[in-house]
Amino acid sequence: MRPKLVFVHGIGGPRQVDQERHRWTAALADGMRKAGHSDIAEDLANSDSPEIEFAYYGDLFTTPHAQGGDASLSATNELQLVSELFTQILAELETGDERLRLIVERATEELHPHGTPQGAGDVLRRLINAATTLLSVGPFALAGQWLSARLLVRDLAQVARYLARAEPDEDGSTLDRRVRDRVDAALGDDPAIVVAHSLGSVVSYEVLHCRRREIPLLVTLGSPLLMRSVVWPRVRPQPPRTPEQVRRWANFWDRDDIIVARPRLEADMLANSLGVLPASGRVDSDGAWVHTATKYLAHADVGGPVAETIRRLRRSDE
């Protein structure tokens, strides 16, 4: 069969789909070359094979579809989810550096000052204050991804908004459903290799549970699935288990990736009926901010399994 490769992105602002597809493809091809699969890498870079889809859903977080208002974060319960997410990220930050330790302590105090928050506006102010402090030093400051605290809160809020199962459009389809529909459409009707990053790993996990066609390989990068306070208890279905059609699941994490609270998914995930569990592997990237998808993709450990699966699928069609 002609292999199909589907990329699923994570949190962030608007993206140019063609540019992102090119960047992800180039990084993955680099990882394949490092793993000794130069022939597959060249085919990938030249768009010869496999067919490549970039499942884009970022515009759904900015388009005013929600009934009764725009698609901005405003509900108190969603803001509380963001606060819980922020709290867990702060708790997981490596604070060996004294200055960073003080910054984390200050941000935590700003996030949870004395007194009960008075509505959504108060929760949002606390989040922005804590984000402003966090952006002053450490990995967030060096990421170069957020020009302001409000943008950082906006992007982290995408996780909460997805899991809130709210913001219905005029047809009653909630935000999370519309996101899943985008990814499902990119997958199409044929077996596909899925490479999912960050929030995209959560979305893909849920989409693949509804698929009937085989998924030869699922690759998750920097996945927040095991964030205990926010993500793990809210993903569907429960209890979390490997989607039935997944034949292999390779999960990768970087020890400096602050979005990955607990990296080894196989420790808590149940197997599907074929006994498939995630196999987690650590990669080490350069720089202070390592959550970027292309940094993960450029590793041999990531490129290798994808190239091997493409090669196997080609041979099965000969």
Burial 23-35 (b: 16+ CB within 10 A, else e): bbbebbbbbbbbb
pLDDT value for 68: 41
CB neighbour list of residue 296: distance below 8 Å, 6 or more residues apart? 197, 221, 222, 252, 254, 283, 285, 302
Say what the pTM is.
0.89
pLDDT value for 107: 87
- Residue-wise pLDDT for 43-61, tens only, equals 998 876 679 999 999 999 9
Residue ranges for the chain with pLDDT beneath 70? 1, 48-49, 63-76, 94-96, 115-117, 137-147, 261-262, 287-290, 318
The β-bridge partners of 219 are 195, 250
Residue 21 tokens, joined = 């597809």
Helix (H) or strand (E) holding 129: helix 119-134
pLDDT value for 293: 92
